[in-house]
Amino acid sequence: MLKKDIAQFPVDLDIIGRLKPRVTLAQQIDQQEHKLQKQTHERNWFKRNAEELDIELDSDFLPSSDDEDHSEMVREDAQAKHKIKAMKRQMKYLLSQKIVTRGVSAQYLSSGIISDLADRLLNTKDANPVIPTLKRESALEAAKSKVHAQTAHKLRKR
């Protein structure tokens, strides 16, 4: 049995929501690249093995370079590569955007929802080592404080 507790990783649910489009786009890029690589590998495998066996492949397996199917296949590959490049440009743009926790101003430390931001950044004792703007607290404490804040907000509306 371990004597040490596992260090808690800070999680800001607002940041996770902002990361979702990036992760989704990365998955789409990976799927498209995998599909393209698989098709290329399969074609090369058929071609290589046909050459080793000294046989000609039927146009269903591998269209010849003068065949209409071959030009269509080349066009589809070019379109897929273009789509992947476009998605990578979009990913580059998304990754260039800073993700700042809600309530934090990128320009001014003292503005925003987190009124004690400067104090949190200066206080190294209670600072979170990964995300300094977050308080060091467990997920249970964070959930309880969020429920408490929502309840207080509902009561203020009445």
**pLDDT tens for residues 69-81?**
667 888 999 999 9
Q: Which residues of 35-45 are buried (b: 16+ CB within 10 A; e: fewer)?
A: ebeeeeeebee
The verdict on 44 and 74 lying in the same domain is yes
Q: Are 119 and 108 in contact (CB under 8 A)?
A: no
Nearest to 101 by CA among 19, 7, 3, 1: 19
For residue 31, pLDDT over 90 is answered with yes
5 within some domain? no
41 within some domain? yes
Q: Are 18 and 99 in contact (CB under 8 A)?
A: yes
Tokens of 42: 């399969």
The verdict on 22 and 61 lying in the same domain is yes
For residue 125, pLDDT over 70 is answered with no
- How confident is the prediction for the chain on average, in pLDDT? 77
For residue 46, pLDDT over 60 is answered with yes
pLDDT of residue 105: 57
3 within some domain? no
Instruction: Tally the domains of the chain.
Output: 2
- Confidence band for 83, pLDDT divided at 50, 70 and 90: very high
72 within some domain? yes
Could you tell me which residues come within 8 angstroms of residue 21 by beta carbon, excluding any fewer than 6 positions away? 94
The verdict on 60 and 122 lying in the same domain is no
48 within some domain? yes
Q: Could you give the C-alpha distances from 158 to 5, 50, 146, 155, in angstroms and in order?
A: 43, 78, 19, 5
Higher pLDDT, 133 or 86: 86
For residue 54, pLDDT over 80 is answered with yes
110 within some domain? no
**In terms of residue numbers, what domain contains 141?**
117-157
Task: State the distance between the two ends of the chain, measured CA to CA, in whole angstroms.
Answer: 51
101 within some domain? no
The verdict on 141 and 74 lying in the same domain is no
The verdict on 90 and 142 lying in the same domain is no
For residue 62, pLDDT over 80 is answered with no
Between CA 56 and CA 39, with CA 50 as vertex, the angle to 5 degrees is 105
For residue 118, pLDDT over 70 is answered with no
SS3 158: coil
